[in-house]
Amino acid sequence: MKKRALIVGIFICSAGISGQDEIFTTGFEPSFTVGGDVSGLTNLGETIEISLNGVAQSVVNQDGPFTSTDSVEAGQAYLVSIDNSNCTVTNESGIMPLNNVTDVNINCPPAFVTVYDVKQGFATGDVALQNMLVTACGDSGYYVQTIDADPDFNGAYYSAVYVFDNTVDCNLLQVGDRVDLNPATVNVFFDEIQLQNATYAIQSTGNQLPNPVITLPAALNTLGVNPLNAVLVEVQNVTVTNPDLGSGEFEVAGELVIDDRFYTPVPSVTLNENMDYIRGPLAYSLNTNKIEPRSANDLGRQVQLVINEVDYDQPGADAAEFIEIYNAGVADANLADIALILVNGGNSQFYASESLASAGVLPAGGYLVLVDDTFDTNTLPANTPFIVLSTPVQNGGPDGMALVNTATEEVFDVLSYEGSISSANLGFSNPVNLVEGTATTAVDVGDGSLSRIPNGVDSDDADTDWEFTTQLTPGTSNISDIVPPVAAALVINEVDYDQPGVDTTEFVEIYNPTQNSVDLSQYAIVLINGNDSTEYDRVTLSGTLGSNEFAVVGASGLAVPQGVIYIENAFASGIQNGGPDGVALIDNINNTLVDSLSYEGAINAAIITGFVAPVDLVEGTATTAIDTGDGSIVRLPDGTDSGDDDIDFTFSTVVTPGSTNNLP
């Protein structure tokens, strides 16, 4: 039989015993002793009297081996018992064999303590915690917390602890499980009190997590371990002040570090990105308190849905009308409660509410097109989601529309065209102004559309953001009819991103095909990682590039003609060649894209630091040219830009940094 036991500290002693006696003897068989090991008693701090067949043998108060002072004849029954209900005995009874019994073990598990005792240093060594709630789980361990509904809850401070366990299976132990930890060893790891060597027993599953403690970045950025260490916390309305601290970390509010133990943001965060909230357990490492988001749901990355293009009028009978929605943000947008509400300017009343829920989730950089029932959806780019409008789009002017969350009445974007609608009835608690800043003066005259130029940009001034364009682009990036100044028409002319063996001579060549010299100081080369469409390196250019001249940015030691602008040792980690990857030439004063190349695949929503929206690195069709290691991708002839990358770029085995491109 087993008897329960508790845990504390010890040391073995004997109750006065004069010698070994035989008990349960017939005199015909030899007699033997009974013994084993005591464990956990040292931590328990109590004593145990051990009896054999009801006869006291010894009193012990620490871990170690024990042996009975009396013996039992072979073939007779033996029973070991103890007087401490906090401990258990295993293999305590049997028939005595023809040898000493050595496997009777006494175990004294720890007494249950509170997490407050552990985190404030009152409980040390081996401990036991009861009914703790798992709040996070990852490859190296998990967090457990006592919450306000628990009987031993005593406030948020010191109410949680991290359990280090690099063998934990988070498919077996899951967030929401209630567990007993028995035993677990208290360990101080670089000032943070943790548990290790823990054995858990799941008591229940699927329990609701507590609301995080809402606080301020400054309150968490304390010297030393914060009292909220390991507790679920949340900061709200914060801005990214450093998107890359190294090791997958970033900083918000100029002082609070966000760690990637459980989750790495995809796409990567950008400088000045605003987040509605960041939540997760609070960790402490490298002398810094850090929030550890557990998934994308712990980052309140703002949804930036915009009305991007509207074709509400055609020559003659109105047919093939469409409205394009674009996700200009870095977070995927769940469209479950999102609707586009159409408004009649004659009475400022809505005449249609088009739910977008059927489109599911619109990814960052993605398009959704609402079309009338005459629109040929086969003309949309492959896999572009669309919804058929329930009614034609009015064009009497003024008219308008609003992109909204019908559940929360949040307004994402508005447009009032051919006049101003400043008090629209959307069926909400209050009227909504459909004019951002100044109403747009752009008008769809029938053979084009209203488009945001640049694509997806929302400056909160409609007259700045909207243009009439003659090129209809449903499901793709908008194209302005306004030709940019020829003086700034620099192009990416040649790229060598791969060499045989070690990549040591990579470069990007810029060419000025215009008749004017160009000051390069406002331009930069940006390298884009196709895995997450984010910027991984940037080089600001310098010097003045004359008409029909070249500039080379890349590794040192290239054979560049004398007099050519050459920026050496430019790319810290080289130019990636895993594919797809990309190169962007940008105006870093106005944060606009000047030219781009996406190679070994298409990058259609590149995240460039400082840009208000993702940008498409593909012009027309992505090039099929590939740098196989013994050449480069080139424009032929130099500076040719038809607007289709698959036409303009080709692979050449003749590498020409700083000089005219050619084929062998």
pLDDT tens per residue, range 507-544: 999 999 888 888 999 999 999 998 889 998 999 999 99
Bigger pLDDT: 516 or 59?
59
DSSP secondary structure letter of residue 439 = -
Residues 517 and 605 in one domain: yes
Residues 166 and 277 in one domain: no
Task: Decide the pairing of beta strands 213-214 and 518-519.
Answer: unpaired
CA torsion through residues 110, 111, 116, 121, sign: negative
Residue 531 tokens, joined = 């895995």
20 pLDDT tier (thresholds 50, 70, 90): low
Neighbours of 624 (CB within 10 A): 12
Query: Which of 238-252, 263-277, 280-294 is the most confident on average?
Result: 280-294
Q: What are phi and psi of 379, to 5 degrees?
A: -85, -10
The single residue listed with the structure tokens 């990309």 is 582
Report the helix count and the strand count for the chain, using DSSP H and E. 5, 48
Considering 283, 301, 319, which residue would you say is the last residue of a domain? 301
CATH number of 88's domain = 2.60.40
366, 330 in Cβ contact below 8 A?
Answer: no
Average pLDDT score over residue span 405-434: 95
Tally the domains of the chain: 5
Question: What does the alpha-carbon distance between residue 70 and residue 101 come to, in Å, rounded to a whole number?
Answer: 12
Cut 0.85: pTM above it: no
Res 376 pLDDT > 80 = yes
Residue 258 tokens, joined = 């966000």
Task: Please compute, for residue 244, the number of CA atoms within 13 A of its CA located in the half-sphere on the CB side.
Answer: 8
Query: Which of 431, 447, 406 has its CA nearest to residue 343?
Result: 431
Query: Which of 12-26, 154-168, 448-462, 539-553 is the most confident on average?
Result: 154-168
23 pLDDT tier (thresholds 50, 70, 90): low
Question: What does the alpha-carbon distance between residue 582 and residue 645 come to, in Å, rounded to a whole number?
Answer: 12
Res 258 pLDDT > 70 = yes
Average pLDDT score over residue span 489-501: 87
CB-based contacts of 172, cutoff 8 Å, min separation 6: none
469, 332 in Cβ contact below 8 A?
Answer: no
Residues 284 and 425 in one domain: no
Average pLDDT score over residue span 80-100: 94
- Judged by phi (left if over 0) then psi (alpha if -120 to 50, else beta), residue 172 lies in alpha
- Is residue 658 assigned to a domain? no
Please tell me whether residue 646 adopts helix, strand or coil conformation.
Answer: helix
**Tell me: the pLDDT tens digits for 28-39?**
789 999 999 999
Res 233 pLDDT > 50 = yes
- Is residue 343 assigned to a domain? yes
CA torsion through residues 218, 221, 227, 228, sign: positive
Average pLDDT score over residue span 277-283: 98
Query: Which of 561, 545, 541 has its CA nearest to residue 513?
Result: 545
CATH number of 156's domain = 2.40.50.200
Residue 165 tokens, joined = 């366990």
Considering 407, 441, 469, which residue would you say is the last residue of a domain? 469
399, 343 in Cβ contact below 8 A?
Answer: yes
Residues 195 and 332 in one domain: no
Q: Poorest-confidence range of 357-371, 469-483, 585-599?
A: 469-483
pLDDT of residue 617: 94
Task: Decide the pairing of beta strands 232-246 and 249-252.
Answer: antiparallel
614, 364 in Cβ contact below 8 A?
Answer: yes
Question: What does the alpha-carbon distance between residue 24 and residue 61 come to, in Å, rounded to a whole number?
Answer: 28
Question: What does the alpha-carbon distance between residue 483 and residue 38 come to, in Å, rounded to a whole number?
Answer: 87
Residues 465 and 498 in one domain: no
**Tell me: the pLDDT tens digits for 110-155?**
778 999 999 999 999 889 999 999 999 998 999 999 999 999 999 9
Residues 614 and 627 in one domain: yes
Neighbours of 116 (CB within 10 A): 18
Q: What is the mean pLDDT of the chain?
A: 89
- Can you list the positions of beta strands (E) in 21-100? 22-23, 31-32, 35-39, 48-52, 55-60, 64-67, 71-73, 77-82, 88-90, 93-95
pLDDT of residue 3: 35
Residues 312 and 458 in one domain: yes
**Tell me: the pLDDT tens digits for 158-192?**
999 999 999 999 999 999 999 999 889 999 999 99
Task: Decide the pairing of beta strands 64-67 and 178-189.
Answer: unpaired
Residues 518 and 621 in one domain: yes
- Is residue 539 assigned to a domain? yes
Residues 550 and 605 in one domain: yes
pLDDT of residue 11: 34
Determine the residue type at 152. Answer: D
Q: Poorest-confidence range of 191-195, 352-356, 381-385, 649-653?
A: 649-653
25 pLDDT tier (thresholds 50, 70, 90): low
- Is residue 499 assigned to a domain? yes
Residues 462 and 378 in one domain: yes
CATH number of 535's domain = 2.60.40.1260
Res 422 pLDDT > 70 = yes
Question: What does the alpha-carbon distance between residue 415 and residue 439 come to, in Å, rounded to a whole number?
Answer: 8
Residue span of the structural domain in which 522 resides? 486-652
Counted residue by residue, the chain has a size of: 664
Considering 301, 317, 347, which residue would you say is the last residue of a domain? 301
Res 484 pLDDT > 70 = no
Residues 315 and 420 in one domain: yes
pLDDT of residue 664: 65
- Is residue 606 assigned to a domain? yes
Determine the residue type at 587. Answer: D
Question: What does the alpha-carbon distance between residue 371 and residue 324 come to, in Å, rounded to a whole number?
Answer: 9
Using CA atoms, how far residue 77 sits from 34, 38, 115, 518, in Å, is: 11, 22, 45, 102
Residue 180 tokens, joined = 């007993």
pLDDT of residue 26: 61
pLDDT of residue 578: 73
- Is residue 10 assigned to a domain? no
DSSP secondary structure letter of residue 463 = H
Question: What does the alpha-carbon distance between residue 417 and residue 345 come to, in Å, rounded to a whole number?
Answer: 9
Residues 429 and 530 in one domain: no
Please tell me whether residue 118 adopts helix, strand or coil conformation.
Answer: helix
Bigger pLDDT: 338 or 244?
338
Please tell me whether residue 391 adopts helix, strand or coil conformation.
Answer: coil
468 pLDDT tier (thresholds 50, 70, 90): very high
Res 486 pLDDT > 60 = no
328, 611 in Cβ contact below 8 A?
Answer: no
124, 186 in Cβ contact below 8 A?
Answer: yes
Q: Poorest-confidence range of 276-285, 489-498, 546-555, 626-635?
A: 626-635
- Is residue 479 assigned to a domain? no
pLDDT of residue 24: 56
Res 63 pLDDT > 90 = yes
pLDDT of residue 6: 31
- Is residue 5 assigned to a domain? no
